[in-house]
Amino acid sequence: MTAKFPSQKYPNAGAFIADYASAMGKALSSVRPGELERAVTALKRAIQGDRLIFSCGNGGSAAIANHLTCDCSKGIAANTTLRPRVVSLSATVELVTAIANDMEYPEVFAYQLKNLGRPGDVLITISSSGDSENIVRALAWAADNGMTTIAFSGFSGGRSAQMADISLHVAAENYGVVEDVHQSLMHILAQYVRMSELPTELVQSLRF
């Protein structure tokens, strides 16, 4: 079982950052390389097939979902022939609040997918608990409608880690650590997909 962090009160920030860094390293190492490879393959297949890639999350995870659109849409495309089409379902504040107010909050992502999602598209969900109802409903709808699903999760993984085609689970018991690793995974995926399309000499000269 993953150790709880922090498990004590720290006397100073220097001591806290040392253990936080250690927890980060362990959490990042807990992500299964095979699942990461499968996520890369799914993203490249979607991009090359001109499919849409959707992302969604709540709170801090919503910020990561929004950030993902930048690193994929701009980052992956830079110096490559890849042209990702990425949509964050968390960014549409007018639509999210309308659905939440007029229907129910658990439908905010699934309802958008009903209008936008098509078979062959990809859904990336980001949830520390892996158990947010709106995340679970989005995954269920995507699975029922021919989409490939990738779930970022932490803690026990929740339902999303079990439901998704590809599970990028972070074994950590701290929200900050889980979110930091999710952000790192987003960067890793985008940078690796970009790098895989570049000649060696260009990789050596570019700043990532």
Q: What is the pLDDT of residues 10-30, one digit of tens each?
A: 999 999 999 999 999 999 999
In a domain, 6, yes or no: no
Q: What is the pLDDT of residues 105-162, one digit of tens each?
A: 999 999 999 999 999 999 999 999 999 999 999 999 999 999 999 999 999 999 999 9
Structural domain containing residue 169: 13-196
Place of tokens 């040392």: 18
Residue 1 has pLDDT above 80, yes or no: no
For residue 3, what pLDDT is reported? 83
In a domain, 68, yes or no: yes
In a domain, 124, yes or no: yes
Separation of alpha carbons 117 and 105, rounded Å: 19
Q: For the chain, give the mean pLDDT.
A: 97
Indicate which CATH number applies to the domain containing 58: 3.40.50.10490
Number of domains into which the chain is organized: 1
For residue 2, what pLDDT is reported? 84
In a domain, 128, yes or no: yes
In a domain, 40, yes or no: yes
Separation of alpha carbons 165 and 89, rounded Å: 19
